[in-house]
Every structure is written in structure tokens, then in C-alpha cells.
Chains A and B, each alone.
Chain A
Amino acid sequence: MPVKDKALELRPLFAQLGLLGHTDGSVMFSLGQTAVICGVYGPAEVKPHKERLEGATVEISLRPPSGPTGLQEKAKEAVLKGLVESSILGSLHPRTSVFVSLQPLDMDGGELAAAVNATCLALMDCSISMRCLFASVEVTRTEDGIILLDPSQKQATKAVAKATFVFESVNQDVLASHLEGRWSEKAFQAGLQAALDGSKAIFQFYRETVKRKFSKELMMK
């Protein structure tokens, strides 16, 4: 049983930037036991039929850990595409493509949140100009109304409803939301507040990760 204050804490975060040699930006990100590798190519050459005059074309590819790609992945890709399109400054790179490839390795709750956070870290590693960063957290609600922040699959077994929110870093506004199960208005607001608090820790983690990356690069010179 999670203790009350533990319930509103994130699981350990881990990120390793630039682990893939051929991509322009990459990260291995994990949220507790949920792990995902993300690579970004861009701004790169675009296929003529996808070329856009007004900005970069965003393409997302999300593969399941095993088996063929299904509807679930397509739905996640649509959310990620919306997020990347609205957060990068695509108009700086017209007639180019930004390709984000994601490979989840282990699924233990918060898969969408982990994929979103990995995408943001990989875009940062790729040094694409962005108007804001984004961070995502999953919250769940149990039958008796207890809100759990970022639960593992085991902790979430008692959950009757789940929600994933994505916040941006400038005004802490909501960029995307995705619900599973029923939420009363009050519980929804409580869940949103818990997720917002959780996202602050993730933005802090982004800051530390990038600091670590640059301190390493400086030392090598």
C-alpha cells in the first residue's frame, strides 16, 4: 500500500543522452521500470510529396516492444505528432523533415508519459529550436478516490481510472490530455493538480540532464 505522501511522488527518472551514433539526437529514458529509446533525425531531407512550404514536416514512428504495430501505437503517434508540431519552431526549417523514432523497451505503467518525455529529451539533444519544452505524467484514481502519481503497473491494478497530461514549460498550460475510465469533475481537477506538481520535477530533471551533458562535453575539450 502506498503511503499518502509517497503516492504523489514520481518513480526514479533516468536519462542517457546521445547513445545512438547515427541519429542527430537520441536518448534512453526510463521512468521506474518503463524504458524507451528515442532517436531524432532533423532537420533533414523530406520526401517531395510531404514537403511543406510553411514549416518542417513532423513524422513519428512508434514501435511496440513486440508484435506488429496496432491502433494503440497509431493513437500515441497522433498525440506525439501534435506535441512536436506545436512545440518546435518548424517555420525556421521549411521544406525539411523532423523524424522521431521511438522504441519502448519495457512497459510498466506510464508508457505514453515516458514516450512523451523521451521525445522532448531527444529533441533537446538534437538542438532543434523549440518554443517550449513539454513533460508528461500519468495519474490514476482508485475506487475510494485516492490519486496516485506515476504508478507502476502493479500499483495501478487497483485503479479505476487513468489520465495522462502533458504540460508545457512556459506557462505550465496543458498541451495534451488523454483519459481512461470515468472521472468526476472534482477528481479530474485533483488529478490535474497532482500531474502539474509532478511535471515540475520532470522539468527540473531535464535541466540537470542537459547540465550534465554539457559539463561532459566541456571536460572533453
Chain B
Amino acid sequence: MKPKRILLPLAGAAVDADVVRLAALIGKPNKAQIEALHVIEVQWNRPLDADLTEDEVRAERLLEAAEEVGRSVGITLQTEYVAARTAWSAIVHEAEQRNVDLVIIGMPYRRRMGQVTVGRTVQNVFLKAPCEVIALRDRAVPA
């Protein structure tokens, strides 16, 4: 795997920092361009260009935190956020638009009815992304 362009969808979860570090590990030897993307999911009962100030402030913070992690591991992270109805669709759209070679997506650790579950976003990105996808699952939380 020698990706030249890597996309990191970040949701502001604890696993984001590990996603950035993994991207650095894979991308640095290939001098890959690494881009972080956050998707603000806008509920259907609101217009897409509604006032999203609170979400945007949160997005700024989590992307800056990711940039800081990137600096600590020696990469310059390009960051951006978009507003969309569904996160997975926006992520796949961006992956197509930007011609990325690899998507690394964080997977928060979730259990439902005794089973570890994969969320809708990760599932759909896995199935529909036009490139390779690595899903990095967060550490297990002790029961």
C-alpha cells in the first residue's frame, strides 16, 4: 500500500488521535498528502445552510486538535469541514472528488445487546468508498 492521498474522516471521538497517528505511519514514507474531514450532519428538519455556529465551533476545535496531533508526529494536516445530511455520503463524495487512495476512519467502540456494533457511517464508507478503507476501532471499554 503506497497511498499518495489519504482522507481521514474525523468525528471528534477519542479514536481521532490514533487515526491521525496511523495516517502518519502509512503516509509519511510515501510523502502522502493527508487530509482531515469533519462532516456536520444537519438534521432533515433544518435547511442545509442554517446557522450551524455551535457545530462549526466544535468542528474547529476537533480539527485543530487533529492538526496538533499531526504536528507532533511530523505531518501537516489539511483540514476542512462540510455540512451534509448524512456523513457517510459526504465522506464518500469527498473521497471521489479528491481522488484519494485510502480512507482511514475511526470506529468508536460500541456494544449493543452484548455485541460489538459497527455504525452506519463506517459501514457505508466501507462498502461504498472508491478506494481502500481502513477502519480503526477504538480500545475496548471495560464492562
> Does B associate with A?
no
